[in-house]
Amino acid sequence: MVAELGHFALILALAVALVQATVPLIGASRNDDRLMALGRTAALTQAFLVVLAFGALTQAYVTSDFSVANVVDNSHSAKPLLYKISGVWGNHEGSMLLWALILALFGAAVAVFGAGLPDTLRSRVLAIQALIGVGFLAFLLFTSNPFERVVPAPADGNGLNPLLQDPGLAFHPPLLYLGYVGFSVTYAFAIAALLEGRVDAAWARWVRPWTLAAWCFLTLGIALGSWWAYYILGWGGFWFWDPVENASLMPWLAGTALLHSAIVVEKRDALKSWTVLLAILAFSLSLLGTFLVRSGVLTSVHAFAQDPARGLYILGFLLAVTGGGLVLYAWRAPQLQGGGLFQPISREGGLILNNLLLCTLTVTVLLGTLYPLFLDLLTGDKVSVGPPFFNATFVPLCAPLFAALCVGPFLGWKRAELWPALMRLRVAFVVSLAAALIAMTMIDSRSTLAALAFGFGVWLIVGSLWALADRLKQGTLRTTPRATLGMVIAHASLGIVVLGSVATSAWHTEVMQTMKPGDRLSFAGYAVQLDKIEQVQGPNYVAERATLIVTVGGKPYTVLQPERRLFTVQRRQVAETAIQTNFLRDFYATLGEGDPSQGWVIRLYLNPLAPWIWLGAAFMAFGGFVSLSDRRLRIGAPRSSKTRRPAAQPAE
């Protein structure tokens, strides 16, 4: 009964979305207030209906209603409540419903908070948002109905993909989707602007909070995914340049570029058509990611939900959204007139450099991800593009980006002098140079490159904080705009991420050894003894568990228990690493293959600063939220904010 209610709500939502996608659009072109007003009502109604549908599916999962096929396939009555709930989106149909839910909620948010928007712009944004919603709702209803029943209902379900039964991965998809779908709003704003034929500061002020919010969630989502890969895949690494990771990295890079170029539109009325293009691309890359993950055109760790038939639908949808947007762009964008003029050395110039580098990074990742596909189709050769390619292309491109990052905030708008800005950063320069030298001489003399990268990390932190210190000479922390504070936090956190990744990749110590119970080894000042290997029976897996006793100077230090789980139903092996952290380094142990006669393969890693990677990413998102709380950007803030804008950017 509840499942049918959900199904019915979904059908109604599609009908409402169809109305919302057409009527306000007609109203906007005819300037008919009544037709335009329908957009808001429809957006709220659609959100209500999709919430109802999502609630119905959640109810089916929580109560283990095994007459619903989706629940049978992805749940089990003995599962903990957390995984019953996360099971709702741990499958293809449910995750699409979650996507539709976030899409509708964001549409409703535009309707509620968009009172200050010009009527025509708001109507068009809501219509475009609904158009995207139509695509997802139709996809759900016609190809992936989550409410399908099974008769007769089985006694119990098949359980969730073992890899997904993990607290880290329970929240990874919703965060990622909040990011992806957040970009749908900026996309809708971009299309509406092209339809209106005007892009101005007010438009940019509306686009920026949405971009910021999407960016923050995406940052958290990516970090959570990387953390999961770090402790579950058991290779000691945190980023593998897997197609799925790249799929989420591309919109993040494009979104970061958009975040910065929107500032130029807002403050200086320049870079308009470029910003509109970025807004279209950020969402298109999100869709591309979904397509790559679900269509099965590339291999990756996300083997779930791959299906070429669905791939064709998503490809069609991707073509409609991106293609439609780009056709409109090719037609209307040449008419967007740029306003402010500026010299190459200026805040604008710095932001353009940022955009160029970020876009080059995006293209690099795109090429690296798709190259195996292109080559296979054209020549039949199988290659895989991995870390060597990205280390040789992506990493060097980061150097100028990081170098310029700290200088930008010291440049004035319109026209600036480079030398004085650099002089103000001399302390930061000296400190980071010292850090690089110390790293080179004291930590590891083999890798000059790593020491240099370490210096860059320090440069980002000190340089960003220096900008804040510079600012505080003129006022207090309270009078500093939240947007500036957010910027400083996010930029400095990037430095923390860089330090963590450099230290972990370049200076980790590892040992791989075959051990039998009772064997000892000494590793980086620790004595490690394999105490025992035992068979453990989990609820739906069998595992081998090693007990490693770690001592320092004869005194007990810690006990690590890595496992290797074989999930019997799915025939999937999952490594459960054991990690002991003190926030300066991770002691990381995994258990490999083995048997009693030959011993087991034990791998130990000491990863310096590894926790900083994810802490830094979390701080980065926090910086984004701080910036989002800026009064000037606050959603629904009175429009008088325009007059309150500091006139502190003297033209000459």
Partner 1 sequence: MRRAIFILPLLTLALMAGFFAWSLTSGRDPASIGSVMVGRPAPKLDLAALREGEPALTDALLKSGKPVLVNFFASWCTPCLAEHPLFTRLAERDGATIIGIAWKNKRDDALKWLKRLGDPFKYAGLDLEGRTGLDWGLSGVPETYLVDGQGIVRLHFRGPITERDLNERILPALKGAK
3-state helix, strand, coil in the chain (%, to 5): 65, 10, 25
Q: What CA–CA distance (Å, rounded) separates 42 from 133? A: 12
Residue partners of 14: CB distance under 8 A and separation at least 6: 134, 137, 138, 141
- CA 198 vs. chain centroid, Å, equals 30
CB of 514 or CB of 522, closer to partner 1: 514
Q: Closest distance between partner 1 and the C-beta of residue 327, in Å? A: 6
Pairing state between β 509-515 and 578-581: unpaired
Q: Closest distance between partner 1 and the C-beta of residue 475, in Å? A: 43
Residue partners of 531: CB distance under 8 A and separation at least 6: 517, 518, 547, 548, 549
Residues that bind partner 1 (CB under 8 A): 273, 277, 280-281, 284, 291, 295-299, 308, 311-312, 315, 318-319, 322-323, 326-327, 329-330, 333-334, 370, 372-374, 376-377, 382, 566, 571, 573, 593-595, 597-598
Residue partners of 545: CB distance under 8 A and separation at least 6: 533, 534, 535, 536, 561, 562, 563, 591
Q: Which residues pair with 511 in a beta bridge?
A: 604
**The two structure tokens encoding residue 212:** 């910021």
CB of 73 or CB of 444, closer to partner 1: 73
Q: What CA–CA distance (Å, rounded) separates 600 from 591? A: 7
Q: Closest distance between partner 1 and the C-beta of residue 542, in Å? A: 10
CB of 319 or CB of 422, closer to partner 1: 319
Q: Closest distance between partner 1 and the C-beta of residue 330, in Å? A: 5
Q: Closest distance between partner 1 and the C-beta of residue 508, in Å? A: 26
CB of 32 or CB of 376, closer to partner 1: 376
CB of 389 or CB of 625, closer to partner 1: 389
Q: Closest distance between partner 1 and the C-beta of residue 601, in Å? A: 11
CB of 382 or CB of 473, closer to partner 1: 382
Q: Closest distance between partner 1 and the C-beta of residue 391, in Å? A: 22
Q: Where are the beta strands (DSSP E) in 362-446?
A: none
Backbone angle region of 197, left / alpha / beta, with phi > 0 → left and psi within -120 to 50 → alpha: left
CB of 218 or CB of 281, closer to partner 1: 281
Which amino acid is located at 62 in the chain? V
CB of 15 or CB of 320, closer to partner 1: 320
Q: What CA–CA distance (Å, rounded) separates 569 from 562? A: 22
CB of 89 or CB of 313, closer to partner 1: 313
Rg, C-alpha atoms of the chain: 26
Q: Closest distance between partner 1 and the C-beta of residue 376, in Å? A: 7
CB of 476 or CB of 597, closer to partner 1: 597
Q: Closest distance between partner 1 and the C-beta of residue 161, in Å? A: 15
Terminal Cα distance for the chain, rounded: 69
Using the structure block, give the residue that is written with the tokens 């490999």. Answer: 592
- Provide the b/e sequence for 10-23 (b: ≥16 CB within 10 Å): bebbbebbbbbbbb
Q: Closest distance between partner 1 and the C-beta of residue 211, in Å? A: 19
